[in-house]
Structure 1
Amino acid sequence: MSLMKSAIAATLLSLAALSAPAMAADEYNTSSGLTAAGSPLGLHGVDPVAFVSLGNRIDGTAQYTAVHDGVAYYFASQEAMDAFTAHPDQYLPQNGGFCTFGVSVGKKFDGDPQFAAVVDGKLYLFLNEAIFREFQKDQSGTITKAEANWKKIRSTEATKL
């Protein structure tokens, strides 16, 4: 390989390392592919600030994108993006955005924003309507079990359906 090709290959490898997400594998539930920000999309593109602050599922837009821990989040407005940037922990979905009920039983399933709850100011997502209904039967017990299990399974591979 010529010296020029070696230099180009080294540069590309360096750039790839710089753009790699700052997260450990599978700690966040993200959509496949990358956003224009170069990171995978979290929360299926739904604005987490609107969810937590208003209790309303509002789709964000790529125009307002913030990246946290290697995951891109979309927002409906500059104000929402600024609020998230200032205090991301107030708005991030719990359990990395995976289904809270699944995490409570030691599994990592997709968390769908169509089936979500804000409990004590925290956002919890669920796989589907049936699982969400199960959560509603024992919210505090499910959340407590999920918190304990999340520490154990946080960096494990997501469950394949």
Structure 2
Amino acid sequence: MTAQRQERNRRRRRTAFIALLFGAAAAGVDLAAQAATTERLVVDRHTGLAIGGFDPVAYFTDARAMVGQPGFELSEAGAVWRFRNEGNRAFFTAHPEIYGPQFGGYDPTDVARGIAYPGNPRFWLISGQRLFLFGRAESRDAFAVDPVRVLREARQRWPGLKETLAR
């Protein structure tokens, strides 16, 4: 291969690589836009599932994130909630304000900053007998250091932030 041809191939590979990076970034932004819904409760817009189909009661009863079963569903607050069993569904039905994620499933550390960033059901923490979902492990860790401060700021900002989200 001639030097010119080699250089041309390198440029094409660089251009393709840059296009791939920009395409991935654009897809990532699109995915983030889908996840960061304009809803007051984080719901997958394609499936209608709240918190990705994870059982909100299992965080309390099993101390871990567990995917709910399609046979144990409940429609509540404009979302479909899934549960591991009938007992968990009954607990949630009786007290959705306790078992449902706080701030509609948005990351409380971001809510404290005035940003509605959806929580990931795999990054969670129970604090003060309430479930909190976080967008990143770093957010969960920052919350765990000073939950009182983060919650104070998040509770101050949540009403205004909630008003910017669709009903």
What is the TM-score normalised by the length of structure 2?
Answer: 0.72
Aligned counterparts, 1:28-43, within 5 A: 28-34=41-47, 40-43=48-51
CA shift, 1:29, in A, is 0.8
* In 2, Cα distance between equivalents of 1:42 and 1:55: 19
Deviation by residue 1:99-145 (Cα, 9 ceiling, x = unmatched): 11110110001101111110111001111112222212211111111
Cα contact 1:50–1:80 (8 A) shared by 2? yes
* In 1, Cα distance between equivalents of 2:116 and 2:103: 9
Aligned counterparts, 1:126-137, within 5 A: 126-137=134-145
Aligned counterparts, 1:3-42, within 5 A: 26-34=39-47, 40-42=48-50
What is the TM-score normalised by the length of structure 1?
Answer: 0.75
* In 2, Cα distance between equivalents of 1:138 and 1:156: 27
CA shift, 1:58, in A, is 1.1
Secondary structure of 1:79's aligned partner: helix
CA shift, 1:55, in A, is 2.3
Q: Which residue of 99, 106, 119 corresponds with 1:98?
A: 106
Q: Which amino acid in the other structure matches residue 115 of structure 2?
A: K
Deviation by residue 1:55-76 (Cα, 9 ceiling, x = unmatched): 2211101111111111111000
* Residue 148 of structure 1 pairs with residue 156 of structure 2: yes
Give aligned-pair identity as a percent. 26
| Structure 1 match to 2:11 | none
Runs (4+) of structure 1 moved beyond 3 Å? none
Aligned counterparts, 1:32-71, within 5 A: 32-34=45-47, 40-71=48-79
| Structure 2 match to 1:82 | 90
Cα contact 1:102–1:109 (8 A) shared by 2? yes
Secondary structure of 2:81's aligned partner: strand
Gaps of 5+ in 1: 1-24, 35-39
Q: Note the aligned Cα RMSD (angstroms).
A: 1.5
CA shift, 1:155, in A, is 2.9
Cα contact 1:67–1:73 (8 A) shared by 2? yes
Cα contact 1:26–1:156 (8 A) shared by 2? no
Tell me which structure has the larger Cα radius of gyration. 2
